[in-house]
Amino acid sequence: MSKVLGVLGGMGPAATLDFLAKLQAATPVQREQDHLRVLVDINPKVPDRNVGDEDPAPVLAAMAEGLRESGAEVLAIACNTAHAYADAVRASGLPLVDMLEAAGLAAKAQGATTVGVLGTGMALGLYRDRFSHMGLEVVMLDDHEQVEFMALLYRIKHGDLGATSRETMAALAHRLVGKGAQSVVAGCTEVPLVLSSADLSVPFLDATEELARRCVAVCLAQAQD
C-alpha cells in the first residue's frame, strides 16, 4: 500500500492546485486506483509569511495535526516560505518531504553550481542556508529588483496571470542569469504560475514540481518494496 500524503496548502490556493496537478502528473499509474490518496488542507487563513506580526507556526502545527488525525502518513508543505516553520509541522510526528532539499538535489543533478532563486526574502534565506550545505552558490535579485518581485508576487496571488505578469517575471529571471546563474529555481510557488522553461536560456527548476516528484517517490517506496 502506498502511504497517504497530507498537504498543507492555501498559501496561496492557486499554487496548491498547481502542486496537486503536478503530483497527479508525476504519479505512475495504470488505473485510477494507482494514484495516491491525498488529504489536503487548503487554508488561506494562515498568517502572511512575509508581513504582519502574527506567527504562522501554531496554525501550521494545527493543520499538520489535523492531517495526521485524518490519516496522513507523510506531509508536504505547498509553500517555500512556510518551510521556515517546518519544525512546527514536524512536531506532528510525521515525516515532512522538504521542498528546498528536493530543489537542491535537482539542481545538483543538472550539474549546476551557481543557482538563481526567485523567492520571498525569508525563502531566499532558507535557500541560501540549505544550498550552501549542498555545495551550491545562490544568486539573488538586487534590493530594488526584490521589491519589484514582491509586488509581482502579490499581484499573482490576486489572480493576475496575464502577459504583463509573465513578462515581468521572465525579466527578473533573466537578471539572475545575467548575474551568473546556471539555472533558475522557482523558490516561490507562485512563480511557476507565470514562468516556464520556455522563458529561459538556462535550465528552469520548478520547486513545486520537484516536491511533487519527491512526494510520489516517498509515498510509493513502501508499495514498491
Q: How far apart are CA 29 and CA 34, in angstroms?
A: 5
Going from the N-terminus, what domains does the chain have, and what CATH number goes with each? 5-99+209-224 (3.40.50.1860), 100-207 (3.40.50.1860)
Contacts of 47 (CB under 8 A, 6+ apart): 54, 55, 56, 59
Cβ-contact 81, 61 below 8 angstroms = no
8 Å CB contact between 184 and 192: no
Q: What is the pLDDT of residue 112?
A: 92
3-class SS of residue 138:
strand
Arithmetic mean of pLDDT, 77-93: 97
Model confidence pLDDT, tens digit, residues 7-32: 999 999 999 999 999 999 999 999 99
Q: How many CA atoms lie within 13 A of 84 on its CB side?
A: 19
The predicted-structure confidence for 122-162, as pLDDT tens digits, reads as follows 999 999 999 999 999 999 999 999 999 999 999 999 999 99
- Examine the pLDDT at 178 and tell me if it is beyond 50: yes
Residues involved in catalysis: 79, 188
